[in-house]
Chain A
Amino acid sequence: MEKKQVVSRRKFLGTAGTIGVVGSIGMSSLIAACGKDKSGKNLPELNKLDQAPDGEVLKAGLVGCGNRGTGAAFDFLNAGPNLELVALADVFDDQVQLCRGKLKKNKNVDIPDNMCFTGFDGYKKLIESGVDIVLLATPPHFRPEHLAACVEAKKHVFMEKPAAVDPVGIRSIIGSAKKAEAIGLCIVGGTQRRHQRDYLETYRQVQMGAIGDIVAANGYWLQNHVWYRTRQEEWSDMEYMIRNWNNFRWLCGDHFLDTHVHNIDVINWFSGGQPISVIGGGARHRRLTGDQWDFFSVDFYYGNGVHSHSMSRQIDNCANATAEHIRGTEGYTNCQNTIFNPDGSIKWKYKYPEDANGNETTTPKVSPYVQEHIDLVTAIRTNQPIVEAEELALSTLTAIMGREAAYTGKKFTWEEISRSSMRMGPSEYVMGPVDMEVVTPVPGTAHGQF
């Protein structure tokens, strides 16, 4: 079944004549009826569990003890019985201690001193400390190296999004994904919409033809500024950059990756492939630190006349939105819970659980942030491995392609970005001066220059 789909996509691409060569990574495809299954028979059943099944104790270690990491640790502990968090690693000891305190206070979890690891190689010690699962939640720059080490040590992984910040990192992630698949490891990604019940049911509707063939899409991640750290006198370049990672391109990848990858991932997921090419723009006007941009506007081309427009912004006092919209020949959807007819009337709506008073709530029964850990633990305990790292890598690479198109002002193709040798960041990680130019990209050239 899967094979057939691939063949038909290739054929389709061939006849559409949009690209001559299929990308070296992944499979570019068109948003179209390809692989559509009107009966829904071959689509995965939506049989999400509210709790992971019981089983032998699974011990997890957290790498990256910031807010998201600490959140992921809690979500993991909430996923089912016999789940333990036993080790912490972070570049900075104060981050480890902060997380340790929260675990003690909220979950009554004690992490002994000898299971707390710091420094750039703390993750290695954590992997060797006897854990079964590693939760990777550092800034994305370090993810490829960390995932490779986990797979080599045969550990199951929960990895936060995005997968990496550059094409070199993406290829490393895909390699790790393939290796993990081959030996039956489980890797779940932090693109939690793929574990969110309302999204999953809407996806099912779209695959069964509820909106016909897809013709266009929009993704939005428009929000206020997120956070930044002011440099302290005693901080070296490296310490400052990592403490303020959310504002440096080499660590964060820019918000077009870091947050907007969620929206891009949904559109790739619903359409079953990646864009063929991209152009875009954006700029920096409001940020106070780092070298990132404030906003992006990017046009992804999926072939066959289908475009997806991506907007990502972090500026205060502007219109905010976080959403995906996909339009088809027979209707449109918000991807989350509703299918609309072309005239705007509602064709289908996801049924949320009711509260104690019998009123429909607005959230799925299980939080998607917990659901992803339930799915991970279920996969491990039922011995039905899942590896989501490659999908996550391909969506991240889509975002990288858009970001680079915006930064440079040039058109990028999937083929080019797949084979790109771009690597961001210093060549080695040591606390001290960082020997690299910190510049905010400016697209194109000034007037009169060539």
Chain B
Amino acid sequence: MTDAIASFGAGGRPVSIHTDDAAKARLKGRYRAEAWFKWLGAGAVALAGFFLVLLLSTVVTQAIPALRLNYLTLPIDLSAAKVDPAKLDEVNYDSIAQEALAAKFPDVTRRQDKRLLRGLISTGTGVFLRKDIAADPGMLGGTVDYAVPLDDFADLYLKGLLADVGSDEAISTSVTPSGTSGDIDLTFGDNGMLALARGHGATEAENGMLTLTSGASSLLVVFNGGTVKLTALSPGANGTAIAKGTVIEALDSTAPAASGQASLRVIDTPEASRKISDKEIVWLDTLKSAGLIESRFNSIFFFTGASREPELAGVWGAVVGSFLTMIVTLAIAFPIGVSAAIYLEEFAPKNRLTTIIEVNINNLAAVPSIVFGLLGLAVFLNFFGLPRSAPVVGGMVLALMTLPIIIIASRASLRAVPPSIREAALGIGASKVQTVFHHVLPLAMPGIMTGTILGMAHALGETAPLLMIGMVAFIVDIPGGFTDPATILPVQIFMWADFPEAGFQQKTSAAILILLLFLVIMNAIAVILRRRFERRW
């Protein structure tokens, strides 16, 4: 008798299709698939977490440099000869500060170089100086040490963000200069420099002449109290090397520097591909080694309005604009949203109109935000003629956008209040309105508040609709009212991200950090409200 189902295995035990080798292999395969699937799921979650970490760490690492700003302390001459105490507003404070800086570098005489030197300090210096003098007239009458903010390129260089900071090493051979300023020749005791120059991208001509163009790394020889930038090298007699160079900082003397006394500073980033020249680098290094530069908390960034100059740009104007806009949004969306939710949940009869309203609200919640911007542009600006760029219009647009969120959250919260509360209130003779406003609404309030805060957080981060109503304008003043032109934090981020100046990249990240901080605070409040007041029935 044949048995298709059970046969006998080696040990005489019956083997079924559920336990034979094929079945075991199948089972193994199934378990493997199970493990795979599980790991796939875990991988998806981990990937989402990885994206979050990547995003936040990118923003944070970029933002940190923007929190500090380098200041240069200069002895500024505010004696009566320069500043007439009677005519404080007519003084050119910028040129006073520039003179103080020029006095630090008496060797700089060429017009071009002078302009370069002036560019090291911020163009806002004069404004700060004027403000500080107005606040403290005691500064006048003599020379005071005053800290001026550095220009953004200088600042970025000192933070190590603009160019490779470079390496210093002693030159193990003697160096003899032919002069102390201008274009000079340097004679090196051995030809080790030639190999070094080749390694740093010098172009070699047929006669063995090495030229260091602006596409090569910068080689700076520091000795005798000065700095020489090498421009070309060629082999000399008796294994020496002769270099042509431009003096950036004058040498004290033409005395030869012995082996180990001179040092070579290599800036790997070629001059052509960085936004700061060798001269500026040398000047900054000199100022820094003189202890005149210090890094301070960047209060300009936190407490001033926008500017085209990265070192003068601040977020305060945008923060105030966001705040004003949010006030308008809250003042409109909260009462209307809660009222609508109360009506729909507690009073509305089940008829066509209420069904339409309900479907409508759900659809509105899914309308792209930019469409609300188009609505604001067409209706608020062009039809009603409200001012462009004003927080009141921005607030209204965002209120319409947040309304569905608040209504949906409030309805859910009202629905969660058990009917027994209503029945009890009605039972002791309260009217429907009294029942709702005295009993149901207070119980639903924590949920409504949570929903509102989350909706507001959403509105705070919204950008696109506000671009439509002109909040993208460049506004320097801090807005003082609801109809003043203003910009808001996310739009400021958007604008800064678009600016070509390198300094704005850090500002953008720092502004993002501030925005995220506000969002975290709002969400934390929502979570606390939910934890503390949420009731389970």
Question: Do A and B belong to a common assembly?
Answer: no
